[in-house]
């Protein structure tokens, strides 16, 4: 059953929704800060235009969540976001190659996470998320393309795997821990569609063509601090490398 107003919600539903909105606001502002810091590494005007547009979009999404939170709770989410960023500041990229990797994996993780809320039973949240997803689709492939093209030069062979693992971890953190009571509750009341485990698998399957194209490896997830669900497949067998953005057969 869909809901539209705070008065319709029981306490557990409301507190779960508040946590979701706080987490979303944190991710949007963290992304804007990360990409803003990375502007110093962008080498060309065409990519500067893209990155500044991307930062502006992340800030607009942050504003959307701030407004929604105020309307639902009567309070500002900004103190909570500042506190979270103080405790868990977002990692920053330290080169153009790393910024492209971050745009590819952190952004892609956020996109898959958001898709779990497309049919959210709280209608104002559903409306906000559907708007963000629509706008995010405009740059889903570009980070992947830049990474694949830069890696193909061979100039980053010595550093590509650790940089990949750093941002793979950040992408996977978007989904939360699999098989928790909180996730089961959110699914049962229609706040989200699936457990984080299957979403992780979809995300990994989505990036596998680029992983193969770049000559990278998917590490055991516990080695990068991620709790993985049982049966998660990291196999790169039979992956269609031609699906990777920017891939050119050599």
The 10 Å Cβ neighbour count of residue 68 is 20
The mean pLDDT value of the chain amounts to 94
Would you call 227 helix, strand, or coil by DSSP?
coil
- Burial of residue 12, with CB atoms counted within 10 A of its CB: 0-12 exposed, 13-18 middle, 19 or more buried: exposed
| pLDDT over 90 (residue 192) | yes
229: phi then psi, degrees, rounded to nearest 5: -75, 155
Task: Give tens-digit pLDDT for 39-98.
Answer: 999 999 999 999 999 999 999 999 999 999 999 999 999 999 999 999 988 889 999 999
For residue 225 the two structure tokens come to 């601090």
| pLDDT over 90 (residue 138) | no
Residue 11 pLDDT grade (very low, low, confident, very high; cuts 50, 70, 90): very high
How far apart are alpha carbons 12 and 158 in whole angstroms?
A: 49
Q: Read off the pTM.
A: 0.93
20-36 mean pLDDT:
95
Span 6-243 CATH architecture:
Up-down Bundle (1.20)
Q: Which pLDDT score, from 0 to 100, does residue 90 have? A: 87
DSSP lists the bridge partners of residue 122 as: 3
| pLDDT over 70 (residue 34) | yes
Task: Give tens-digit pLDDT for 169-185.
Answer: 999 999 999 999 999 99
DSSP lists the bridge partners of residue 3 as: 122
Q: Domain locations in the chain?
A: 6-243
How far apart are alpha carbons 222 and 19 in whole angstroms?
A: 25
């Amino acid at each position: 059953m869909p809901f539209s107003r705070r008065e319709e919600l029981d306490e557990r539903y409301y507190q779960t929704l508040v946590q979701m909105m706080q987490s979303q606001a944190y991710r949007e502002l963290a992304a804007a800060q990360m990409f803003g810091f990375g502007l110093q590494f962008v080498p060309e005007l065409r990519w500067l235009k893209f990155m500044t547009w991307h930062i502006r979009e992340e800030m607009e999404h942050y504003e959307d969540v701030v407004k929604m939170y105020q309307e639902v709770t009567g309070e500002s989410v900004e103190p909570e976001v500042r506190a979270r960023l103080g405790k868990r500041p977002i990692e920053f990229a330290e080169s153009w190659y790393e910024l492209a990797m971050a745009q590819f994996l952190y952004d892609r993780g956020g996109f898959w996470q958001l898709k779990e809320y497309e049919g959210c039973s709280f209608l104002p949240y559903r409306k906000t998320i559907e708007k963000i997803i629509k706008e995010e689709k405009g740059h889903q492939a570009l980070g992947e393309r830049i990474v694949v093209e830069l890696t193909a030069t061979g100039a980053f062979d010595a550093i590509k795997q650790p940089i990949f693992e750093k941002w793979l971890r950040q992408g996977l953190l978007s989904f939360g821990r699999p098989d928790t009571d909180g996730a089961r509750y959110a699914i049962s009341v229609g706040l989200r569609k699936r457990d984080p485990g299957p979403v992780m698998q979809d995300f990994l399957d989505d990036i596998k063509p680029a992983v193969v194209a770049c000559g990278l490896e998917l590490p055991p997830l516990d080695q990068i601090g991620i709790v993985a669900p049982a049966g998660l497949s990291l196999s790169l067998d039979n992956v269609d490398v031609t699906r990777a953005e920017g891939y050119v057969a050599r």
